[in-house]
Structure formats: C-alpha cells, structure tokens
Chain A
Amino acid sequence: MPDHDCDVVVIGSGPGGAAAAHALTEAGRTVIVLEKGRNHLLAAEPPFAPLGRFSNDEIKFTRRYFLGPDPLLEPRTFRRDAADGEHLEIGEVNTVPSTVGGGGVHADGKLPRFRETDFRLRSELGAVDGAHLVDWPVGYDELEPFYTEAERLIGVAGDAAANPYASWRSGPFPMPPGPDMYVATLVTAAARRLGYHPYPAPTGANSVPYDGRPACNNCGFCAWYGCPIEAKGDPVVPLRRMLASGRGALRAQAHVTEVLIAPDGRSVRGVRYLDVDRQPHTVTARAVVLAAGAFETPRLLLRWGLGNPDIVGRFLMVHTQTLVLGFFRHRLHTHRGRSVTHLMDDPIVGDAASAAAAAEADLPALRGGVVEVGGAGGPVMEALALPPGPAHVEGMMRSHLRDRLAVLTMQGEDLPQATNRVDLDPRVRDVHGFPAGRVTYRPHRHELVTAEHWAPRLEAVLRKAGATGTFWVSSPPVPGHPNDRPGMRAPSSRHVMGTARMGRDPDGSVFDPWQRMWGLENLVCCDSSVFPTASGYGPTLTLVALAIRAARALASSL
C-alpha cells in the first residue's frame, strides 16, 4: 500500500494547474487535479474527446454563467477602501471561469510574452510613492525556454519578426498568424501612419491544423466563449496529455475545503474536499500545487491561516483597462475572426510624449499596456447598452455599438499597492458557508495619468482609421468620469495577479523564487498570485511558463 493517494494534488485546472499537472506527469509523478467547477471540456475516458457543450450561444456564455462561478453561489464583494464600509458591491468581481480549464476556456487566447524589463520594474523605475515595486526573483532569460515550451504545448500562432519591441526568442512561433480582421486592417494601417508599431497578436488559436486539433474557422465567438471545435489549445492540451499519461486524474466539482498539515507544521500532506453531493473526501499527497487563481488562492490561504500574514492577499493587480471606442460610417463585421487579431506595445515602451507626461506628473514613467485592436461583443450585450424604446430599435438597426464600432483596449499596468487586496468579507458567505472573497482596490495615480495620456492618442488612431467620432472610458473609472457611478466602480478586468507574491525575502513575500511557500516547501503556487508586478500584458502565457518551471523543480524534489 502506498502511503499517499498520489504524488501531487493540484487545486485548480486552469492554465496554471493544467500546465503543472502535465509537467509533473511527464516527469513520472502521479497527480490528482481537483476542480471546483464542472467539466465541460473533455471526456474523462480515452481518447478524452471534447464534450460538445461549447457553442456560439451568447445567452449561455454571457448571461447564464455556464462557465461559472454563479454569483449567487459564490458571491464576491468589492469596495474602494475602508471608507466604503464593509463592501460597496456584491456579485461578480474580476470573475474568471470556475470550470475545468478555468480562464483558458473563456479567454480569446491572446498570449504575448512579457518583456525583459517587466521582470525588473524596481530597477527600471526606482521607488514610486504609494507603490511597492520589486524586481522579480526570476528574469526573462531564465524563463525564455519555458515560454518556448508553453507556446509549443498550447499552440501559439504569431510572427516572430513583427513586433520590434519584443524580447529575444530562441525560435519561431509554432504557427504563422491567422487572418487579419478587417477592423484591424483599418486600424493598424492608421496606427503605422502615426508612427506606432502594431503586430499580429500571438494567439493560442490554431491558424493551421496543429497537434491533432483543427485550424480556427474564425467564428467570432472567441472572447467569453468555449471553443466548439477545439481550435483553442489552452488548457485542453495539457489536461488531455496529463490524462493520457495514465498518471493523472481529474476530479471536477471537487471543492477544496482544507489543507492537511503535518504534525511538525513544516509540510502539507494533502487536502480535503467536498464532492458534488457535498460529501467530504481526503486526498493525501507528497506535495500540493495551489493553482486556484489569484482571487481564490489568497482566499484559501487566508481561510487556512497559511503564508506570510503581512503579505497574503495584498498587492492585488488587475490591469487598468482603457477602452477607446471609434464609431464608423460603414459596417466592420467584427463578429468575424478571433475577437482581437493585433496588438501594439507602443504605450508599454513609451516615447518622448509619454515621458514628458510622466515628468509633469512627477512619475518616473508611464508604463502603459498592450493595446488590443478589436470590436464589441454580441447583439445581446449591444442591446443591453441601449435604452429601451425607439432609441433601442434605432441603435440596433444602425449598430453604432457593435457592427460600426472599433475598440482599442489598453491593458494598463497597475503598480502594486499594499492596500489593494483580496481578503475575507466579514459578512457575506458562499453557498458552502465560507466567507466570500472581498476586493479592496483603488488605482494608483500612475494608472489614471497613464489612461488620460494614452486615451486621446488612441482616439487619434481611430479617427485616422476613419472613425467619425470617438469616446473613451477606463475601468476602474477615472474619478469624475461618466462611469464613476454605482455598479461601475469595480475594475472589470479578468487579469488578476499578485495576491501572494513570490520573492527572495521571506519577510516580503509568500512564495520563494521556485514558488514554494516559505516555511512550507511542498506547497507550491502555480497561478498569477505569485506575480510581483503586473506588466502590461495578459498574464496567461507567463503564468504557464512559471508553472512548468516550478512543477519541474517540484517533480525533481520528490
């Protein structure tokens, strides 16, 4: 009788947990993955085929919580600071799917790497008042092989020569880029005329058949939707390979409630969870990987009283999203294609004008964020944004909020602040009776200055592309802007990071440079909780690369 149920139990089946589970089974270790959401992604039996539940269905995916979490079952709360009281809002806050595959299911698969400077922000910028900047304990050069591996595993399409600001890479993308969306052809041509450098977005959707999965057929139901034809590779590929290895198991609707600690308090020995019938189970293991996402991971740690109590939950970062809208005379058919086909790094790199704006605001730089070139959502979302009555019909027939709309989204880097955090709501409970997670978040002055600097410049790009009118908002809102009102104050971003940062100093971090908890070394975090800073890029590829690195180190230690 082995004295453990498996070598490693993994909490969470999103991109981080899936990548870790795959790396561990590849290294010969046995793994059980526990996912609190349902499995709509792949069959549990060979050949682990798709379950056929993902579809081009706006109701199911955007209005009825098909991917979870249902905010009635698992409410989250939000406040800007303690002056708002216990909470300002209850419901959905920065919600990422709770389902097998996690955030990889609903994301449109834009998977850029970070740049070298993103790993040494403190060295780049020096100290900034009100922020707690640090360098990462791992650098780009060390992570590069893992980025390469992650891109091959997931299947990322891109053009290695297209982005002049990209960091070095050891090889080409596994696939060439897919077709440019029409709106992107207009906007990128205008951006180039204004001196910017748009490029085809590295995308985790197949441009050609890859690894036994078909090429994307551009259906347009990409952001917010599961892929009906499995053209998105993340995280179905690592989960399927993990299952096919014979060393990995996946248990969905398994809600982890406790972690088992050894009597000497120096290691973890497994977890307890509730199954679909809310019956308790125990899984013992030689190590535990925590990959519940940067909202649920600190919530679990706070409930369990684990990790550096001065740090756990703090330094929450979400990206300040600046949405720049351009209204066009003709239809742009943004419902065809991969939601976003081009990115632009210019606001991340900065120029003389952004440097001057930074100096005027007494900031060392405006970090900006990647700009995504895309369109609006589906017609239900469009309709809900219009008032009822004749204006509804006029708006829907003209479609100035969808088919005649181009949207530039800047994923602005937000600086880590100790006061921005996830903690436990003192009053609101989830369906299991556990305290709801609560977000307390206010943007730093840096983010507001950055939004106000770049938004007009991005409006100029859209006007150059032919927009007859432009408009911008940010989330969280700039104080005093039209969207600074009840119901709109929580940041809408799904890029959640930083809530259990890693570092070289146990006093200033929760996890060590190999993502092992200080003082509890067989508890390893494989999600974006460990990010010391946010960069201005989506977190997924980086958290996957880090998960592979950490999981391989863990495997060799067992």
Chain B
Amino acid sequence: MTERRSHRFFDDAAWAVVAAACDRLIPPGDGHPGGRALGCADYIDGLLGAFGDDPPRIWAGGPFSGRAGGEAAFERFSTLSPLEELAWRTRIEGSRGRAEREWAGPVRGWQEVYLEGIAALGDDFCACGPEEQDRRLDAVPELRDLLYAHACEGAYGAPEYGGNRDGAGWAAIGFPGDVQPRGWTDAEVRGDA
C-alpha cells in the first residue's frame, strides 16, 4: 500500500478512493509503477488544498530543481497576485455564490467535483474488483476526466508538486525531467544515442 504523504484536503477514506482510481486510469505493470505508487493522489491533494500553504502550491519556484545541478529552488513556491489568487481559488473552491467570483457566472470548483464524484464511487470502491471500479468511474465522467488530467500531471510533472515520486514516473518512461543548469551537450543533441 502506498503511504500517504500529503494531508491538505482529502480525509483518509477519500484519499484512498482517489489513489485506487488513479491506479485504474494509470495502471501499474510492465515496469510502470502506476498512478497510486507514483503519488498521484498526493499531487491532487496538494492541488485541491493548495491554499493551505503560503505561498499556495500553484507554481513551483525556479530556476532549478537541483536534480541537474544548481540550488534546489522548485520547493519554494511562487506568490500569486490578487487576481491570480482569485482565479485559482475560484477554479479550485468554486464561486460558491460569491459575487466577486462570478464575473463570468457561477463556477463549479474542482473540490466539489471531487467530493461529489468520490461519494458517487461509493464507500466500498477500494474493495471492488477492477472491472467494477472501471464501471463506477465510467458512471461519473466529470470526475473521471478531471481525475485523469490531474493523474497525468501528477505522474509526469515535477516531483515538487507531490506526484512523480522520486522521479519514478520519468524513469519509467525514459524521460530525463528538468535538466537545467546542466542542459545537453552539442554531441548529445546531435547524436543518435
């Protein structure tokens, strides 16, 4: 069982459902760890609970992660402007009837999509067999589509966002990840290996 590392939004039961669902959308096998082991549920927990941290966990810092040299700065997340915070809170939390968030009409937030979708998947989702899990996911396409997009980000985005544990998502697919400030030599750019 993958250990939970992010405790920002989901309760343990909801986190377990998300982790199990991520393993259906990105299943393990053939050398790929799968969405659960890659920590996709932690990535999503960090996103939905981004405003529990200051600065919020929206944009990782720069210029370097430390993986290819330089000082590790991705962990120091960037600040948001007031308008950027308004946008991201509206996107994540929803407009919730607040006039200042409804300039373009009501917005259904990702938190609501997740919580309603997880409820629809059922308390016994984790105990179901894979075919039943797939059937239930297909019955909540709004959650499934959002979850898949976030699972892809979590699996192959920078590990500082909470997913792609230890770079295992990149390692599985043969992607080197961020490479600054080392970069690539001219020979590595031109060569066939």
Contact = CB atoms under 8 A, between A and B. Distances in A.
Contacts of A53: 61-63, 78
B153 A253 contact: no
Contacts of B134: 389
B129 interface: no
Interface stretch (A27-35, A179-187, A354-362, A508-516): A179-187
Contacts of B107: 72
A74 to B, nearest CB: 9
A217 B70 CA distance: 14
B30 A397 contact: yes
A397 B190 contact: no
Contact of A221 (B58, B178, B185): B178
Interface in A358-403: 378-380, 382-384, 388-390, 392-394, 396-397, 399, 402-403
A217 B180 contact: yes
A55 B153 contact: no
Nearest to B177: A56
Interface in B42-79: 58-65, 73-74, 78
Given A63-B153, A228-B181, A72 B189 contact: no
Contact of A393 (B32, B62, B170, B189): B32
B91 A217 contact: no
Given A38-B81, A57-B74, A217-B183, A179 B104 contact: no
A331 B176 CA distance: 13
A90 B79 CA distance: 27
Contact of A73 (B87, B161, B170): B87
B172 A396 contact: yes
A379 B30 CA distance: 18
Contacts of B17: none
A205 to B, nearest CB: 12
A509 to B, nearest CB: 34
Given A54-B63, A59-B153, A384-B149, A397 B32 contact: yes
Interface string A173-193: 000001111100100000000
A399 B174 contact: yes
A58 B157 contact: yes
Interface in A239-269: 253
B84 interface: yes
A75 interface: yes
Interface string B156-175: 11100100000001101111
A344 to B, nearest CB: 19
Contacts of B178: 55-57, 219, 221
A277 B82 contact: yes
B97 interface: no
A64 interface: yes
Contacts of A397: 30-32, 172-173
Chain A interface mostly helix, strand, loop or mixed?
loop
Given A384-B149, A397-B31, A56 B180 contact: yes
Contacts of A389: 24-25, 27, 134
Contact of B27 (A384, A390, A399): A390
Contact of A379 (B65, B104, B175): B175
A281 interface: no
A59 B158 contact: yes
Interface in B30-44: 30-32, 34
Contact of B182 (A60, A217, A277, A383): A217
A388 B152 CA distance: 9
Contacts of A430: 103-104
B11 interface: no
Contacts of B64: 55, 228
Nearest to B67: A56
Interface string B118-159: 000000000000000010000000001000110111011110
Instruction: Tell me which of B64, B149, B180 has the highest count of chain A C-beta atoms within 10 A of its own C-beta.
Output: B180
Contacts of A38: 81, 84
B62 A64 contact: no
A206 to B, nearest CB: 12
A219 B70 CA distance: 14
Contacts of B180: 55-56, 217, 219, 221, 228-229
A308 B158 CA distance: 49
B191 to A, nearest CB: 6
A510 to B, nearest CB: 29
Nearest to A50: B63
Nearest to A395: B173
A228 B63 contact: yes
B184 A336 contact: yes
A185 to B, nearest CB: 6
Nearest to B158: A57
A181 B103 contact: no
B83 interface: yes
Contacts of A55: 60-65, 73-74, 178, 180
Contacts of B170: 379
Contacts of B60: 55, 57, 59-60
A251 B104 CA distance: 27
Interface in A411-450: 428-431, 433
B83 to A, nearest CB: 6
B101 to A, nearest CB: 9
A179 B177 contact: no
Contact of B192 (A182, A380, A396): A182
A52 interface: yes
Given A53-B61, A379-B173, A380-B156, 15 more contacts: A56-B180, A60-B59, A60-B60, A63-B157, A75-B104, A182-B192, A216-B183, A217-B180, A217-B181, A378-B156, A388-B26, A388-B148, A402-B175, A403-B175, A433-B103
13 contacts: A58-B156, A72-B87, A72-B91, A75-B104, A217-B184, A218-B186, A228-B62, A389-B134, A393-B29, A397-B30, A397-B32, A403-B175, A431-B83
